[in-house]
Amino acid sequence: MKKILIFIIYCFWAILLLSSCGGNFFNPRYYYNKKERQDYVEINGGFTDYVSSKIFKYRDTSQWTSSYPLDDSYSPDVRSLILKTYTFSEGGKTLEIKEETWNKPEATKTTSYNLTQANDKSASYTGNGGTISLGINYSGNLVQNDTVVGIIASSFVDNGPIFPDRVRGAVFKDGYIIYTFNEDGTSLTLQFKYLFSIVRHTYKLVRLDNDISMNYTGIYHDLDWWTQLTPYKRLKLNKDGNDNTIVSSTQGGIINGLGSADSDFGLGIKAYRVIR
């Protein structure tokens, strides 16, 4: 009786296993393909049919963070300044990649590629930029070397570059007021007139805004503020898309208590970009 019960249980689990494999229990490629599919979307008709006549866009803002204070070694490397647009032809036979640099239309670069190899989940394209291999992930986004490089244009939201990239190496000036940023935008010297004297304060970036959509503002530590109990200042660029005007806090505050990026309350010391 005990042996019969064990046999019945064994048969029950065997039936469950076979049904979960959909008839592929003895097909070794089922397990290989099942593992392979974990990183890619199922595409009816293959990669080229999926990307046919589609446009993907991407800006790498991976160096943005809501954590603070920022580490002293934090130094963004301009990657967020580049907006990439991937345009596939009908049938996915050709690909055009356009790279636009923020506020520098003269630096726009376009590279054309031709399809050289394609399968269900990926394809290779070759052009003056060499050979690139692209795939599609579960979200329907374009990936290269397992990294997202393109989001379907209809779903793409461009928040622009992160704040330090927008101001790297920039100079803003209005009379005695001069903002001079270093090469990576993480520090600056602010010159202004106080009473009858010209003073200079050194600032160090300590925080980006909590919301990535607020990439036009940053919090800096005023190292020369009269009290280090409230030494932090908010710097903010205009939101009209050209980043040509800057304002900053007229009074110090705590690192997370300088109001909202949506408001100009407490901001002044206005100046205008003279070096981009």
Q: Are strands 197-208 and 94-101 parallel, antiparallel or unpaired?
A: unpaired
Cβ contacts of residue 148 below 8 Å, gap of 6+? 58, 137, 141, 142
- Residue of 225, 218, 216, 223 lying closest to 252 (CA atoms): 225
The residue behind tokens 């990936």 is: 143
- Tokens coding 8: 């019945």
Domains of the chain, by residue range, sit at 47-155, 163-275
Confidence of residue 26 (pLDDT cuts 50, 70, 90): very low
What tens digit of pLDDT does each residue of 176-232 get?
999 999 999 999 999 999 888 999 999 999 999 889 999 999 999 999 999 989 999
How far apart (Å, rounded) are the C-alpha atoms in residues 75 and 53?
38
pLDDT at 85 over 50: yes
DSSP string, 219-238: EEEETT-S-TTS-EEEEEE-
How far apart (Å, rounded) are the C-alpha atoms in residues 86 and 160?
17
How far apart (Å, rounded) are the C-alpha atoms in residues 273 and 276?
7
According to the model, what pLDDT value does residue 194 have? 87
DSSP code for 252: -
How far apart (Å, rounded) are the C-alpha atoms in residues 34 and 50?
20
How far apart (Å, rounded) are the C-alpha atoms in residues 230 and 247?
18
Mean pLDDT computed over 56-71: 97
pLDDT at 260 over 80: no
Is-contact 147 138, C-beta < 8 A?
no
pLDDT at 31 over 50: no
Backbone dihedral angles phi then psi of residue 226, each to the nearest 5 degrees: -65, -25
Whether pTM exceeds 0.85: no
pLDDT at 3 over 80: no
According to the model, what pLDDT value does residue 166 have? 97
